[in-house]
């Protein structure tokens, strides 16, 4: 009986530790907000690189990427500020981010190269 009880306690502990890994929490939202405020400016060089790889002309791709990157940096930084200010609240639903992907470096290889 003691072995069964001990096994049940261990199972509950293991499953309770793994559940938060799948759930969004206020701490996740705060962490995402701080990261996005600090790294939002990195959208500019990342977007320049993406756009020039998609474009036939390096100069046009870099020029368009610059402006698109500035807009995305402002949006990501603003989204991060929103996450910091509202981290205790489940706004939007379930602590989801306002801007996707969650972080500046969460970009798939297809997005980086422009391939489908």
Look up tokens 């996005």; give the residue.
36
Neighbours of 61 (CB within 10 A): 19
Pick the range with the lowest mean pLDDT from 15-24, 70-79, 98-107.
15-24
- Confidence at residue 70, expressed as pLDDT on a 0 to 100 scale: 97
- Confidence at residue 105, expressed as pLDDT on a 0 to 100 scale: 87
3-state secondary structure of 48: helix
Distance CA 97, CA 111 (A): 19
- Confidence at residue 25, expressed as pLDDT on a 0 to 100 scale: 93
The answer to whether residue 10 scores a pLDDT higher than 70 is no
Neighbours of 103 (CB within 10 A): 17
Distance CA 113, CA 108 (A): 9
Q: pLDDT-based confidence at 44, cuts 50/70/90?
A: very high
The distance from CA 52 to its chain's CA centroid, rounded to whole angstroms, is: 23
Token digits of residue 6? 């001990």
Give every CB contact of residue 68 below 8 A, 6+ residues apart in sequence: 47, 51
The answer to whether residue 66 scores a pLDDT higher than 80 is yes
């Amino acid at each position: 009986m003691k072995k069964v009880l001990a096994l049940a306690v261990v199972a509950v502990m293991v499953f309770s530790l793994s559940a938060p890994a799948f759930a969004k929490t206020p701490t996740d939202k705060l962490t995402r907000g701080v990261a996005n405020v600090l790294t939002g400016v990195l959208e500019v060089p990342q977007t320049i690189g993406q756009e020039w790889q998609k474009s036939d002309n390096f100069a046009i791709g870099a020029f368009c990427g610059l402006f698109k990157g500035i807009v995305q940096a402002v949006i990501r930084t603003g989204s991060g500020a929103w996450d910091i200010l509202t981290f205790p609240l489940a706004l939007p639903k379930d602590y989801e981010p306002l801007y996707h992907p969650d972080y500046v470096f969460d970009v798939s290889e297809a997005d980086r190269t422009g391939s489908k």
